[in-house]
Structure 1
Amino acid sequence: MTPPDHAPLLYSPYVGRVKAPNRFLKSAMSEVLAKQGEDLPTQEHFRVYRRWAAGGTGILLTGNVMIDGRALGEPGNVVLEDDTPLAPFAEWVRAVHETSPETQLWMQINHPGKQSPKFLTPHPVAPSAVPLGPVLEAAFTPPRALEAGEIEGLITRFATTARRAREAGFDGVQIHGAHGYLISQFLSPHHNRRTDAWGGSPENRRRFALEVYRAVREAVGPDFPVSIKMNSADFQKGGFGGEEAHDLIAALSEAGIDLIEISGGNYESPAMTGARQSTSAREAYFIDFAAEARKRSDVALAVTGGFRSVRAMEAALASGATDFIGIARALTLDPDLPKRAAADPDYTCDVGRPSTGIRALDLMFMIAISYYESQIRRMAQGRDPKPGMSAWQTVFQSATALGKAAFRKRRA
């Protein structure tokens, strides 16, 4: 595509350790489309990702693929372990590449730690035996602190999943180190209260993230793109952020990581759902952090959260603070966003704030997230998204799709 005059940077290719036909990056969203008990990609996954590939996004990141089938973040997660059949994963890749050969498909790999509801994981693990906050403790069992040998085993699992993703034909992997999942728990002074080599000092708290990266790199080789998604801040008292976040970027950069995606918050303090919009006037929630990170690292950066208009996307790239524009919810409402934005300099996609009008129901069904999952399900069924759809339809669809699990808290 010839870059349009109104967005020459946004539609320019990125060539380096990371290669992409443009600067659009579909940030990971959990599709919750796997059949429970099978935990494999399905025809529904393939249908959704064909739609996104056809829409012109340069890099597509899968929803979090779990490294351990005994530790799911929610019902419907995909799992990739050492003995998992690779054929469905290879078909996932083909679905994208046959639709758009230039589009990159990367797998996000994850372990939830204690962020797994008790009906899925009755005995969760975490860096320390620190429960989730008071609002969440009824639905999430307090975790057991990991033993040192178990930590080493989890590092190996991350590497195994990454290696198998490459074998299946994926174009890259992303380590999920944000939003309160296991790596994020290790990074947080609040959640990680260990006094051994895996906790205590900032250097020890970030050791797990760095060892996971090093093991993944060894497993996939020097020429395979490896990314991490990390928080600029947890937005939680005693949590991760500030200079520790910048120090992590410096350490990962020195270790040789290829791309860092910047987000923020966790499910106790959910900035990633738009609950905090300190820079909403400029749309990009975390652009100031990225601008500071750019002064300290020349690694490719992506900023995710808040982008709505093509003008704001181009301005963020022109500022030099980021190399990629991470988009999630907007692509569930308009999978053709990159193509539409190329044709319209005034393009805007407002994701809105869906609500049933009953706060307790919104919280029970996690409407701030599940509303967009329901748009993914529409595409999975071969239908178009439905912007403006009533949040009540999401409640009905979630109850139908997930059965009894819909009435249990699925996420922290």
Structure 2
Amino acid sequence: MSALTRNRSPATVPNDLMLKYYVQRAEGGAGLIVSEGILVTRQGTEWQHAPGIWSRAQIDGWKKITDAVHEAGSKMYAQLWHLGRIAHPDTPEQIAAGVPVYAPSAISARGGKFRFLPGQPGYVAPTEIADPTLIIAQYKQAAINAKEAGFDGVELHGAAGYLVHQFLDSTSNHRTDKWGGSPENRTRFALETLKALIDVCGPDVALKISPAGGYNDVGMPLQDTIDTFGHLLREVENLGLSYVTFMRYLAFTDVEFDGKLRATQHDVVETFSPFLTHTPIFVNGDVTPAEAEALVGSGKAAGVFMGRNWISHPDLARRIKAGKALDNAFDFAGFYGTEGVDPAVGYVDYPEATY
């Protein structure tokens, strides 16, 4: 089960409703659950109820969830997440943090909306991170906290135009120091962060990437994409990660600016699989059960992550194994919850199949 932001964590602290959600899916056959993105430090996200892992209350809340998931027979990784320039300075959490919105370079992302802020403002120009090692230290502390919270490992969110991806991408990283410029320099932040996580969790560290870009205003020309992510993966191959997830191109996450789609459409799996010969590859992005069987059976992937199907089918793995239909209607309206509506709606109220 891939990471899925669900916006059900008021005050950033995991709660009993979230526990029920994850346990439903552990009991539904999810062998490995990757948590929703967990903020490594207080930030102003457009999902105002995203969880964190910097406080004692958060660690304790996650510990209840991981204990219950383990009891149900599943493993659970924490996806560690920093928004970078996709935060907003006017959100309550960013104001409470008392720091600016940080990014590799002072370049704002186009687009964006914060449904709970007046006027639905877009993204703003961030403050350039003066010393990236200070952010890496936040990731390392988050891994320490995740380990204390009972997670079996951590996944670095290097996809979807968030901070790690912003360092990788030449359109969002215009730095002239050792953290920007060449592919070797733009991949430095991701690699140094992974090494810090390995210091804490050993081999139980993973990485998720989305080389096609698109979402959150990232994406490079194809050759730059291959050069950058190719160098990243060549170095990752030597780190002994538990897996790397390739996020395939998804049309529904692509965006259009000035009459042109933002993503660099290509076959991510075919392009980047050759760079990893020892590190397990997982594939994510609208993978069907039939595709999953083909990917694993052909040796192109060690496994797959499924996302949205787990939202509307809490017993997804059991259904697939039993040959049951995936017939629960998916409701986007309940994806992030709706103000004034019971947060259980569209979250823990999807029915299981009859067995």
Q: TM-score, normalised by structure 2?
A: 0.82
User: Unpaired runs of 5+ in structure 1?
Assistant: 1-25, 266-270, 277-285, 355-366, 387-412
- Alignment counterpart, residue 8 of structure 2, candidates 1, 22, 33: 33
Q: Give CA-to-partner distance per residue, 1:130-150, whole Å, 9 cap, x none.
A: 1111576942221111102xx
Q: Once the 2 structures are TM-superposed, how far is the Cα of residue 378 of structure 1 from its aligned partner?
A: 3.6
Counterpart of 1:204? 185
Matches within 5 A, 1:137-286: 138-148=121-131, 151-220=132-201, 222-223=202-203, 225-235=204-214, 236=218, 238=220, 241-263=225-247, 271=250, 273=252, 275=254
Aligned-partner SS, 1:61: strand
Matches within 5 A, 1:7-406: 26-36=1-11, 39-72=12-45, 74-81=47-54, 86-98=59-71, 100-101=72-73, 103-120=74-91, 121=94, 123-133=100-110, 138-148=121-131, 151-220=132-201, 222-223=202-203, 225-235=204-214, 236=218, 238=220, 241-263=225-247, 271=250, 273=252, 275=254, 288-297=267-276, 298-308=278-288, 310-344=289-323, 347=325, 371-374=334-337, 377-378=343-344, 382-384=348-350
Contact 2:44 2:88 in 1 (8 A): no
How many residue pairs end up in the alignment?
323
Per mean C-alpha deviation after superposition, the further-off stretch among 66-75 and 158-167 is 66-75
Q: Give CA-to-partner distance per residue, 1:93-114, whole Å, 9 cap, x none.
A: 112112x22x111110111001
Cα distance in 2 between the residues matched to 1:197 and 1:81: 28
Q: Once the 2 structures are TM-superposed, how far is the Cα of residue 71 of structure 1 from its aligned partner?
A: 4.8
Q: Once the 2 structures are TM-superposed, how far is the Cα of residue 264 of structure 1 from its aligned partner?
A: 5.1
Cα distance in 1 between the residues matched to 2:327 and 2:287: 9
Cα distance in 2 between the residues matched to 1:157 and 1:135: 25
Counterpart of 1:404? none
Cα distance in 2 between the residues matched to 1:141 and 1:287: 30
Cα distance in 2 between the residues matched to 1:382 and 1:133: 34
Q: Once the 2 structures are TM-superposed, how far is the Cα of residue 177 of structure 1 from its aligned partner?
A: 0.5
Cα distance in 2 between the residues matched to 1:208 and 1:92: 30
Q: Give CA-to-partner distance per residue, 1:31-88, whole Å, 9 cap, x none.
A: 211113xx11100110100110011011101111111114545211111126555321
Q: Give CA-to-partner distance per residue, 1:123-169, whole Å, 9 cap, x none.
A: 31100011111576942221111102xx1111011011111111121
Q: 1:173 to 1:339 in 2, by over 3 A?
A: same
Q: Which amino acid aligns with 2:26?
A: A
Q: 1:274 to 1:204 in 2, by over 3 A?
A: closer
Aligned-partner SS, 2:26: helix
Aligned-partner SS, 1:78: coil
Q: Give CA-to-partner distance per residue, 1:196-236, whole Å, 9 cap, x none.
A: 0100111000000001001111122x25x100111122145
Contact 1:48 1:380 in 2 (8 A): no
Per mean C-alpha deviation after superposition, the further-off stretch among 133-142 and 68-77 is 133-142
- Percent identity for Structure 1 against Structure 2: 24
Q: Once the 2 structures are TM-superposed, how far is the Cα of residue 117 of structure 1 from its aligned partner?
A: 3.1
Aligned-partner SS, 2:246: strand
Contact 1:378 1:385 in 2 (8 A): no
Cα distance in 2 between the residues matched to 1:347 and 1:384: 14
Report the aligned-residue RMSD.
2.9
